[in-house]
Structure 1
Protein backbone atom coordinates (compact mmCIF):
# COMPACT_ATOMS: atom_id res chain seq x y z
CA UNK A 1 0.00 0.00 0.00
CA UNK A 2 2.87 2.37 0.80
CA UNK A 3 4.31 2.41 -2.74
CA UNK A 4 0.86 2.94 -4.24
CA UNK A 5 0.11 5.77 -1.84
CA UNK A 6 3.51 7.33 -2.53
CA UNK A 7 2.69 7.56 -6.22
CA UNK A 8 -0.87 8.78 -5.67
CA UNK A 9 0.16 11.48 -3.23
CA UNK A 10 2.99 12.64 -5.50
CA UNK A 11 0.60 12.86 -8.46
CA UNK A 12 -1.97 14.76 -6.38
CA UNK A 13 0.64 17.23 -5.13
CA UNK A 14 1.88 17.69 -8.70
CA UNK A 15 -1.68 18.48 -9.84
CA UNK A 16 -2.11 20.96 -6.99
CA UNK A 17 1.19 22.63 -7.85
CA UNK A 18 0.08 23.01 -11.48
CA UNK A 19 -3.14 24.66 -10.31
CA UNK A 20 -1.60 26.94 -7.68
CA UNK A 21 -0.26 29.62 -10.11
CA UNK A 22 -3.88 30.21 -11.19
CA UNK A 23 -5.08 30.85 -7.63
CA UNK A 24 -6.21 34.35 -6.77
CA UNK A 25 -7.44 35.73 -3.44
CA UNK A 26 -11.19 35.70 -3.05
CA UNK A 27 -12.80 39.12 -3.19
CA UNK A 28 -16.20 38.10 -1.82
CA UNK A 29 -17.28 38.16 1.81
CA UNK A 30 -15.80 35.37 3.92
CA UNK A 31 -17.91 32.68 5.55
CA UNK A 32 -18.60 32.61 9.25
CA UNK A 33 -18.38 28.81 9.59
CA UNK A 34 -14.98 27.13 9.10
CA UNK A 35 -14.59 24.45 6.44
CA UNK A 36 -15.11 21.08 8.08
CA UNK A 37 -12.77 19.44 5.59
CA UNK A 38 -9.84 21.78 6.17
CA UNK A 39 -10.17 23.10 9.73
CA UNK A 40 -7.74 21.20 11.95
CA UNK A 41 -6.89 18.73 9.18
CA UNK A 42 -3.85 16.56 10.04
CA UNK A 43 -3.24 16.19 6.30
CA UNK A 44 -2.75 19.94 5.92
CA UNK A 45 -0.54 20.00 9.01
CA UNK A 46 1.62 17.27 7.51
CA UNK A 47 1.86 19.29 4.29
CA UNK A 48 2.94 22.37 6.25
CA UNK A 49 -0.12 24.44 5.40
CA UNK A 50 -0.97 26.32 8.57
CA UNK A 51 -3.78 28.69 9.46
CA UNK A 52 -1.90 31.58 7.80
CA UNK A 53 -2.41 30.00 4.36
CA UNK A 54 -5.64 31.11 2.61
CA UNK A 55 -8.43 28.57 2.75
CA UNK A 56 -8.76 28.30 -1.03
CA UNK A 57 -5.16 27.13 -1.22
CA UNK A 58 -5.69 24.63 1.60
CA UNK A 59 -8.92 23.30 0.17
CA UNK A 60 -7.41 22.42 -3.20
CA UNK A 61 -4.84 20.16 -1.53
CA UNK A 62 -7.02 18.67 1.21
CA UNK A 63 -9.69 17.67 -1.30
CA UNK A 64 -7.12 15.88 -3.45
CA UNK A 65 -5.84 13.99 -0.41
CA UNK A 66 -9.38 13.11 0.66
CA UNK A 67 -10.01 11.66 -2.80
CA UNK A 68 -7.09 9.28 -2.29
CA UNK A 69 -8.51 8.18 1.07
CA UNK A 70 -11.98 7.73 -0.40
CA UNK A 71 -10.69 5.55 -3.24
CA UNK A 72 -8.67 3.37 -0.86
CA UNK A 73 -11.65 2.93 1.46
CA UNK A 74 -13.91 2.14 -1.51
CA UNK A 75 -11.55 -0.66 -2.61
CA UNK A 76 -11.32 -2.00 0.95
CA UNK A 77 -15.09 -1.91 1.31
CA UNK A 78 -15.68 -3.73 -1.96
CA UNK A 79 -13.31 -6.52 -0.88
CA UNK A 80 -14.22 -6.92 2.77
CA UNK A 81 -17.51 -5.23 3.76
CA UNK A 82 -20.43 -6.67 1.76
CA UNK A 83 -23.23 -5.11 3.83
CA UNK A 84 -21.77 -1.63 3.63
CA UNK A 85 -21.04 -2.09 -0.08
CA UNK A 86 -24.65 -3.09 -0.76
CA UNK A 87 -25.87 -0.02 1.14
CA UNK A 88 -23.50 2.24 -0.80
CA UNK A 89 -24.62 0.72 -4.10
CA UNK A 90 -28.24 1.44 -3.25
CA UNK A 91 -27.41 5.00 -2.25
CA UNK A 92 -25.42 5.50 -5.45
CA UNK A 93 -28.35 4.27 -7.54
CA UNK A 94 -30.65 6.62 -5.63
CA UNK A 95 -28.29 9.54 -6.27
CA UNK A 96 -28.16 8.77 -9.99
CA UNK A 97 -31.95 8.92 -10.08
CA UNK A 98 -31.95 12.54 -8.91
CA UNK A 99 -32.67 14.98 -11.73
CA UNK A 100 -30.42 17.74 -10.34
CA UNK A 101 -26.96 17.03 -8.87
CA UNK A 102 -25.09 20.36 -8.62
CA UNK A 103 -22.43 19.07 -6.22
CA UNK A 104 -21.05 16.40 -8.58
CA UNK A 105 -18.09 16.58 -10.98
CA UNK A 106 -16.69 19.75 -9.44
CA UNK A 107 -13.03 20.67 -9.59
CA UNK A 108 -11.13 19.76 -6.40
CA UNK A 109 -10.88 23.44 -5.46
CA UNK A 110 -14.69 23.66 -5.18
CA UNK A 111 -15.66 20.14 -4.08
CA UNK A 112 -17.24 19.99 -0.66
CA UNK A 113 -17.84 23.73 -0.36
CA UNK A 114 -21.33 25.12 0.32
CA UNK A 115 -23.42 25.41 -2.82
CA UNK A 116 -24.64 28.92 -1.99
CA UNK A 117 -23.03 32.03 -0.45
CA UNK A 118 -24.04 33.08 3.03
CA UNK A 119 -27.27 35.12 2.96
CA UNK A 120 -27.10 38.86 3.45
CA UNK A 121 -29.40 40.12 6.23
CA UNK A 122 -32.43 41.81 4.75
CA UNK A 123 -31.76 40.49 1.25
CA UNK A 124 -33.18 36.96 1.03
CA UNK A 125 -32.53 34.76 -2.00
CA UNK A 126 -35.40 34.06 -4.38
CA UNK A 127 -34.10 30.50 -4.49
CA UNK A 128 -30.88 28.65 -3.65
CA UNK A 129 -29.00 25.84 -5.36
CA UNK A 130 -29.20 23.78 -2.17
CA UNK A 131 -32.98 24.24 -2.11
CA UNK A 132 -33.29 23.02 -5.69
CA UNK A 133 -31.05 20.03 -4.95
CA UNK A 134 -33.13 19.10 -1.89
CA UNK A 135 -36.31 19.29 -3.93
CA UNK A 136 -34.82 16.92 -6.52
CA UNK A 137 -33.76 14.52 -3.78
CA UNK A 138 -37.24 14.54 -2.24
CA UNK A 139 -38.65 13.21 -5.51
CA UNK A 140 -36.55 10.02 -5.26
CA UNK A 141 -37.97 7.13 -3.16
CA UNK A 142 -36.24 6.47 0.15
CA UNK A 143 -34.12 3.39 0.72
CA UNK A 144 -35.90 0.37 2.25
CA UNK A 145 -35.73 0.20 6.07
CA UNK A 146 -33.25 -2.11 7.79
CA UNK A 147 -33.89 -4.55 10.61
CA UNK A 148 -32.25 -4.03 13.99
CA UNK A 149 -29.81 -6.86 13.27
CA UNK A 150 -28.91 -5.41 9.88
CA UNK A 151 -28.36 -1.99 11.40
CA UNK A 152 -26.02 -3.43 14.05
CA UNK A 153 -24.05 -5.37 11.44
CA UNK A 154 -23.87 -2.31 9.20
CA UNK A 155 -22.57 -0.17 12.08
CA UNK A 156 -19.78 -2.70 12.66
CA UNK A 157 -18.74 -2.54 9.02
CA UNK A 158 -18.90 1.28 9.03
CA UNK A 159 -16.60 1.24 12.06
CA UNK A 160 -14.14 -0.98 10.18
CA UNK A 161 -14.25 1.36 7.18
CA UNK A 162 -13.57 4.34 9.46
CA UNK A 163 -10.59 2.56 11.02
CA UNK A 164 -9.18 1.83 7.59
CA UNK A 165 -9.71 5.45 6.51
CA UNK A 166 -7.74 6.60 9.57
CA UNK A 167 -4.96 4.14 8.70
CA UNK A 168 -4.74 5.44 5.13
CA UNK A 169 -4.86 9.03 6.37
CA UNK A 170 -1.90 8.43 8.68
CA UNK A 171 0.05 6.86 5.82
CA UNK A 172 -0.68 9.87 3.61
CA UNK A 173 0.49 12.22 6.37
CA UNK A 174 3.80 10.37 6.45
CA UNK A 175 4.15 10.64 2.67
CA UNK A 176 3.25 14.34 2.67
CA UNK A 177 6.17 15.10 4.99
CA UNK A 178 8.44 14.36 2.05
CA UNK A 179 6.68 16.98 -0.09
CA UNK A 180 6.71 19.84 2.42
CA UNK A 181 9.70 21.64 0.90
CA UNK A 182 8.25 21.94 -2.59
CA UNK A 183 4.81 22.79 -1.18
CA UNK A 184 6.32 25.58 0.91
CA UNK A 185 8.37 26.81 -2.03
CA UNK A 186 5.21 27.10 -4.11
CA UNK A 187 3.44 29.01 -1.32
CA UNK A 188 6.34 31.47 -1.16
CA UNK A 189 6.36 31.94 -4.93
CA UNK A 190 2.67 32.13 -5.78
CA UNK A 191 0.64 32.82 -2.64
CA UNK A 192 2.63 35.06 -0.33
CA UNK A 193 3.19 37.84 -2.94
CA UNK A 194 -0.56 38.10 -3.54
CA UNK A 195 -1.32 38.16 0.19
CA UNK A 196 1.34 40.80 0.78
CA UNK A 197 -0.07 42.90 -2.07
CA UNK A 198 -3.54 42.73 -0.52
CA UNK A 199 -2.18 43.75 2.88
CA UNK A 200 -0.23 46.63 1.33
CA UNK A 201 -3.34 47.86 -0.45
CA UNK A 202 -5.37 47.61 2.76
CA UNK A 203 -2.70 49.45 4.73
CA UNK A 204 -2.60 52.24 2.15
CA UNK A 205 -6.38 52.65 2.26
CA UNK A 206 -6.31 52.82 6.06
CA UNK A 207 -3.48 55.35 6.08
CA UNK A 208 -5.26 57.65 3.61
CA UNK A 209 -9.00 57.32 4.28
CA UNK A 210 -9.76 60.78 2.90
CA UNK A 211 -9.26 62.32 -0.49
CA UNK A 212 -6.95 65.32 -1.00
CA UNK A 213 -9.77 67.87 -0.72
CA UNK A 214 -11.66 66.30 2.15
CA UNK A 215 -9.94 68.44 4.79
CA UNK A 216 -10.69 71.69 2.93
CA UNK A 217 -14.47 71.56 3.22
CA UNK A 218 -17.02 71.30 5.99
CA UNK A 219 -17.58 73.14 9.28
CA UNK A 220 -14.44 74.53 10.83
CA UNK A 221 -12.36 74.17 7.69
CA UNK A 222 -9.74 76.79 7.08
CA UNK A 223 -9.15 78.21 3.63
Structure 2
Protein backbone atom coordinates (compact mmCIF):
# COMPACT_ATOMS: atom_id res chain seq x y z
CA UNK A 1 0.00 0.00 0.00
CA UNK A 2 2.98 2.30 0.40
CA UNK A 3 1.84 3.80 3.74
CA UNK A 4 1.36 2.38 7.21
CA UNK A 5 -2.02 2.19 8.93
CA UNK A 6 -0.82 4.94 11.26
CA UNK A 7 -0.08 7.27 8.36
CA UNK A 8 -3.31 6.51 6.53
CA UNK A 9 -5.47 7.01 9.62
CA UNK A 10 -3.69 10.27 10.43
CA UNK A 11 -4.25 11.48 6.85
CA UNK A 12 -7.94 10.56 7.07
CA UNK A 13 -8.40 12.41 10.35
CA UNK A 14 -6.52 15.45 9.06
CA UNK A 15 -8.70 15.54 5.93
CA UNK A 16 -11.81 15.34 8.11
CA UNK A 17 -10.56 18.13 10.35
CA UNK A 18 -10.08 20.33 7.26
CA UNK A 19 -13.58 19.46 6.05
CA UNK A 20 -15.37 19.98 9.35
CA UNK A 21 -15.31 23.82 9.54
CA UNK A 22 -17.37 23.95 6.34
CA UNK A 23 -20.12 21.76 7.77
CA UNK A 24 -23.45 23.31 8.68
CA UNK A 25 -26.46 21.64 10.28
CA UNK A 26 -29.17 20.94 7.70
CA UNK A 27 -32.43 22.84 7.96
CA UNK A 28 -34.43 20.51 5.69
CA UNK A 29 -36.23 17.32 6.68
CA UNK A 30 -33.78 14.73 7.95
CA UNK A 31 -33.63 11.14 6.75
CA UNK A 32 -35.28 8.35 8.70
CA UNK A 33 -33.16 5.59 7.12
CA UNK A 34 -30.36 4.16 9.21
CA UNK A 35 -26.91 4.46 7.62
CA UNK A 36 -25.51 0.96 7.26
CA UNK A 37 -21.96 2.27 7.14
CA UNK A 38 -22.10 4.20 10.42
CA UNK A 39 -24.73 2.56 12.62
CA UNK A 40 -23.03 0.05 14.90
CA UNK A 41 -19.63 0.54 13.29
CA UNK A 42 -16.64 -0.05 15.62
CA UNK A 43 -15.07 2.98 13.96
CA UNK A 44 -17.82 5.20 15.35
CA UNK A 45 -17.02 4.06 18.88
CA UNK A 46 -13.27 4.27 18.33
CA UNK A 47 -13.63 7.88 17.18
CA UNK A 48 -15.54 8.70 20.36
CA UNK A 49 -18.66 9.95 18.59
CA UNK A 50 -21.55 10.27 21.00
CA UNK A 51 -25.23 9.84 20.10
CA UNK A 52 -25.69 13.59 19.75
CA UNK A 53 -23.07 14.03 17.01
CA UNK A 54 -24.92 14.60 13.70
CA UNK A 55 -24.75 11.72 11.27
CA UNK A 56 -23.19 13.81 8.48
CA UNK A 57 -20.27 14.68 10.76
CA UNK A 58 -19.71 11.04 11.64
CA UNK A 59 -20.22 9.78 8.09
CA UNK A 60 -17.56 12.07 6.64
CA UNK A 61 -14.90 10.47 8.83
CA UNK A 62 -16.21 6.90 8.83
CA UNK A 63 -16.18 6.74 5.02
CA UNK A 64 -12.57 7.94 4.89
CA UNK A 65 -11.63 5.22 7.37
CA UNK A 66 -13.67 2.57 5.58
CA UNK A 67 -11.70 3.37 2.45
CA UNK A 68 -8.48 2.42 4.28
CA UNK A 69 -9.89 -1.00 5.12
CA UNK A 70 -11.33 -1.54 1.64
CA UNK A 71 -8.10 -0.59 -0.15
CA UNK A 72 -6.06 -2.85 2.14
CA UNK A 73 -8.40 -5.79 1.54
CA UNK A 74 -8.35 -5.15 -2.21
CA UNK A 75 -4.55 -5.27 -2.22
CA UNK A 76 -4.55 -8.46 -0.13
CA UNK A 77 -7.14 -10.05 -2.42
CA UNK A 78 -5.19 -9.19 -5.56
CA UNK A 79 -2.02 -10.74 -4.11
CA UNK A 80 -3.46 -13.85 -2.49
CA UNK A 81 -6.99 -14.69 -3.64
CA UNK A 82 -7.03 -15.13 -7.43
CA UNK A 83 -10.56 -16.52 -7.77
CA UNK A 84 -12.16 -13.81 -5.66
CA UNK A 85 -10.07 -11.15 -7.36
CA UNK A 86 -11.27 -12.32 -10.77
CA UNK A 87 -14.89 -12.17 -9.61
CA UNK A 88 -14.42 -8.66 -8.22
CA UNK A 89 -12.61 -7.52 -11.35
CA UNK A 90 -15.42 -8.84 -13.55
CA UNK A 91 -18.04 -7.19 -11.34
CA UNK A 92 -16.19 -3.88 -11.57
CA UNK A 93 -16.02 -4.21 -15.36
CA UNK A 94 -19.77 -4.73 -15.45
CA UNK A 95 -20.23 -1.67 -13.28
CA UNK A 96 -18.04 0.45 -15.57
CA UNK A 97 -20.17 -0.66 -18.51
CA UNK A 98 -23.15 1.15 -17.00
CA UNK A 99 -23.46 4.45 -18.91
CA UNK A 100 -24.89 6.38 -15.93
CA UNK A 101 -23.28 5.99 -12.50
CA UNK A 102 -24.48 8.83 -10.23
CA UNK A 103 -22.66 7.44 -7.18
CA UNK A 104 -19.22 7.57 -8.84
CA UNK A 105 -16.77 10.31 -8.01
CA UNK A 106 -18.51 11.56 -4.89
CA UNK A 107 -16.52 13.11 -2.06
CA UNK A 108 -16.09 10.77 0.95
CA UNK A 109 -18.75 12.57 2.99
CA UNK A 110 -21.37 11.68 0.36
CA UNK A 111 -20.29 8.12 -0.43
CA UNK A 112 -22.48 5.33 0.84
CA UNK A 113 -25.58 7.49 1.19
CA UNK A 114 -28.87 6.90 -0.58
CA UNK A 115 -28.93 8.54 -4.01
CA UNK A 116 -32.42 9.98 -3.55
CA UNK A 117 -34.26 11.55 -0.61
CA UNK A 118 -37.00 9.62 1.09
CA UNK A 119 -40.36 10.11 -0.62
CA UNK A 120 -43.08 12.02 1.16
CA UNK A 121 -46.54 10.40 1.39
CA UNK A 122 -48.77 11.46 -1.48
CA UNK A 123 -45.92 13.20 -3.32
CA UNK A 124 -44.29 10.71 -5.70
CA UNK A 125 -41.13 11.60 -7.57
CA UNK A 126 -41.29 12.18 -11.31
CA UNK A 127 -37.99 10.29 -11.50
CA UNK A 128 -35.14 9.26 -9.22
CA UNK A 129 -31.40 8.96 -9.82
CA UNK A 130 -31.55 5.28 -8.87
CA UNK A 131 -34.28 4.63 -11.43
CA UNK A 132 -32.34 6.46 -14.13
CA UNK A 133 -29.23 4.43 -13.37
CA UNK A 134 -31.19 1.15 -13.45
CA UNK A 135 -32.90 2.05 -16.73
CA UNK A 136 -29.60 2.96 -18.37
CA UNK A 137 -27.98 -0.24 -17.10
CA UNK A 138 -30.80 -2.36 -18.53
CA UNK A 139 -30.16 -0.91 -21.97
CA UNK A 140 -26.42 -1.70 -21.83
CA UNK A 141 -26.46 -4.95 -19.88
CA UNK A 142 -23.54 -7.29 -20.40
CA UNK A 143 -24.13 -11.05 -20.73
CA UNK A 144 -24.35 -12.89 -17.44
CA UNK A 145 -21.10 -14.63 -16.43
CA UNK A 146 -20.79 -18.37 -16.84
CA UNK A 147 -22.00 -20.28 -13.76
CA UNK A 148 -19.33 -21.54 -11.37
CA UNK A 149 -18.76 -25.21 -10.75
CA UNK A 150 -19.39 -26.61 -7.28
CA UNK A 151 -15.64 -26.84 -6.74
CA UNK A 152 -15.17 -23.21 -7.76
CA UNK A 153 -18.00 -22.13 -5.46
CA UNK A 154 -16.33 -23.89 -2.54
CA UNK A 155 -13.01 -22.25 -3.34
CA UNK A 156 -14.68 -18.87 -3.70
CA UNK A 157 -16.39 -19.19 -0.32
CA UNK A 158 -13.04 -20.07 1.25
CA UNK A 159 -11.36 -17.05 -0.31
CA UNK A 160 -14.22 -14.81 0.77
CA UNK A 161 -13.75 -16.01 4.35
CA UNK A 162 -10.05 -15.15 4.13
CA UNK A 163 -10.92 -11.69 2.80
CA UNK A 164 -13.35 -11.20 5.69
CA UNK A 165 -10.63 -12.19 8.16
CA UNK A 166 -8.28 -9.67 6.57
CA UNK A 167 -10.94 -6.96 6.76
CA UNK A 168 -11.45 -7.71 10.45
CA UNK A 169 -7.72 -7.57 11.12
CA UNK A 170 -7.20 -4.28 9.29
CA UNK A 171 -10.36 -2.83 10.83
CA UNK A 172 -9.06 -3.58 14.32
CA UNK A 173 -5.74 -1.92 13.48
CA UNK A 174 -7.57 1.15 12.19
CA UNK A 175 -9.73 1.32 15.33
CA UNK A 176 -6.72 1.06 17.62
CA UNK A 177 -4.90 3.81 15.74
CA UNK A 178 -8.03 5.95 15.57
CA UNK A 179 -8.37 5.90 19.35
CA UNK A 180 -5.12 7.87 19.61
CA UNK A 181 -6.84 10.69 17.70
CA UNK A 182 -9.99 10.63 19.83
CA UNK A 183 -9.07 13.76 21.87
CA UNK A 184 -8.55 15.80 18.68
CA UNK A 185 -11.80 14.51 17.19
CA UNK A 186 -13.79 15.29 20.31
CA UNK A 187 -12.22 18.74 20.61
CA UNK A 188 -13.14 19.52 17.01
CA UNK A 189 -16.73 18.44 17.63
CA UNK A 190 -16.83 20.60 20.77
CA UNK A 191 -15.45 23.67 18.98
CA UNK A 192 -17.16 23.41 15.58
CA UNK A 193 -20.26 21.23 15.82
CA UNK A 194 -21.74 21.87 19.24
CA UNK A 195 -21.93 25.70 18.89
CA UNK A 196 -23.82 25.34 15.61
CA UNK A 197 -26.26 22.87 17.12
CA UNK A 198 -26.81 25.16 20.12
CA UNK A 199 -27.38 28.14 17.83
CA UNK A 200 -29.88 26.17 15.74
CA UNK A 201 -31.78 25.07 18.84
CA UNK A 202 -31.77 28.62 20.19
CA UNK A 203 -33.18 29.95 16.94
CA UNK A 204 -35.82 27.22 16.92
CA UNK A 205 -36.80 28.10 20.49
CA UNK A 206 -37.18 31.78 19.60
CA UNK A 207 -39.30 30.95 16.55
CA UNK A 208 -41.61 28.83 18.69
CA UNK A 209 -42.06 31.41 21.45
CA UNK A 210 -45.64 32.60 21.72
CA UNK A 211 -46.03 36.38 22.16
CA UNK A 212 -47.22 37.38 25.63
CA UNK A 213 -50.94 37.90 26.03
CA UNK A 214 -51.98 35.31 23.42
CA UNK A 215 -52.32 32.48 25.94
TMscore range, shorter length? over 0.9
Structure 1: how far apart are the matches of 2:160 and 2:210?
57
Partner of 1:140: 141
1:173 equivalent in structure 2: 175
CA RMSD in angstroms, aligned pairs only = 1.7
Q: Are residues 1:23 and 2:23 paired?
A: yes
Provide the aligned length of Structure 1 versus Structure 2: 212
Would the aligned equivalents of 1:98 and 1:136 in 2 still touch at CA under 8 Å? yes
Distance in structure 2 (CA, Å) of the matches to 1:50 and 1:144: 47
Compute the displacement of 1:189 (Å). Answer: 1.0
Q: TM-score when scaled to structure 2?
A: 0.94
Question: Which residue of the partner structure matches residue 119 of structure 1?
Answer: 119
Which whole-Å CA distance do the structure 2 matches of 1:94 and 1:209 have between them? 59
Match of 1:157 among 150, 159, 176: 159
Higher relative contact order, chain-length normalized (CA < 8 Å, sep 6+): 2
The runs of 4+ residues in structure 1 deviating greater than 3 Å are: none
Instruction: Indicate the residue corresponding to 2:197 in structure 1.
Output: 195
- Kindly indicate whether the alpha-carbon contact (under 8 Å) linking 1:91 and 1:143 is maintained by their aligned counterparts in 2: no
Aligned equivalents of 2:149, 2:115: Cα separation in 1 = 34
Q: Paired residue for 1:219?
A: none
Unaligned runs of 5+ residues in structure 1 are 217-223
Find the counterpart in structure 2 of residue 221 from structure 1.
Answer: none
Greater mean deviation of Cα atoms: 75-84 or 145-154? 145-154
| TM-score (structure 1 length as normaliser) | 0.90
State the Cα distance separating 1:204 from its structure 2 match: 2.0
Structure 1 residue matching 2:94: 3-state secondary structure? helix
CA displacement 1:132-185 (0-9 Å, x = unmatched):
111222232233322222122111111110111011011111001110111111
- SS of corresponding position for 1:109: helix
| Secondary structure at 2:63 match in 1 | helix
Give the corresponding residue for 1:59.
Answer: 59
